A = this chain, B = another copy of it.
Amino acid sequence: MLVKRTYTQEELTALLQRHGINPTAQRLEIARLLFARAEHVSAEDVFMLVNTAATPVSKATVYNTLGLFAERGLIREVIADPNKVFYDPNTAPHYHFYDVATGQLTDIDAEGVQITGLPSLPEGARMEGVDVIVRLRQSDRPTH
């Protein structure tokens, strides 16, 4: 599934540059964290993770950086939880299970999944992506 990898500083630098991002210390640090754990993380998660490490990074920078990474296609925003945005270092096409009760997000490999019959886009629109979220609930813990 997701490949957990450690990148060298040089690889990370190249990765950012390839996406048109100036590789500052903070951005490298955040990128390192994101790709090392290869999970769905919130901005708050990143903020806490980055501040257990050597270099402290401010909350504003965490938000700016995640926004920048997402805008440049280095990571992907996942809007599934009404409370917060998740960021996904996996940019390969894939979908998500979302546990409504716990907020847990899990990948669904896009391989094998087919979506057909979508109508043509409105005039002048470009598709940014298709999000598929399968909402789940553990049936042994009933709603009410």
Closest approach, in angstroms, between the C-beta of A144 and any C-beta of chain B? Answer: 8
- Stretch from A4-12, A21-29, A44-52, A104-112 at the B interface: A104-112
Question: Looking at the complex, which one of B71, B77, B116, B121 makes contact with A113 (CB distance below 8 Å)?
Answer: B116
The CA-CA distance from A126 to B99 in the complex, in Å, is 10
Question: Looking at the complex, which one of B130, B134, B144 makes contact with A133 (CB distance below 8 Å)?
Answer: B130
Interface pair A128/B132, CB less than 8 Å apart: no
Q: How many copies does the complex hold?
A: 2
Interface pair B139/A125, CB less than 8 Å apart: yes
Q: Is the interface of A mostly helix, strand, loop or mixed?
A: strand
Contact size range, A: 35 or more
The CA-CA distance from A114 to B119 in the complex, in Å, is 12
Give the one of A80, A95, A116, A131 with max B CB within 10 A. A131
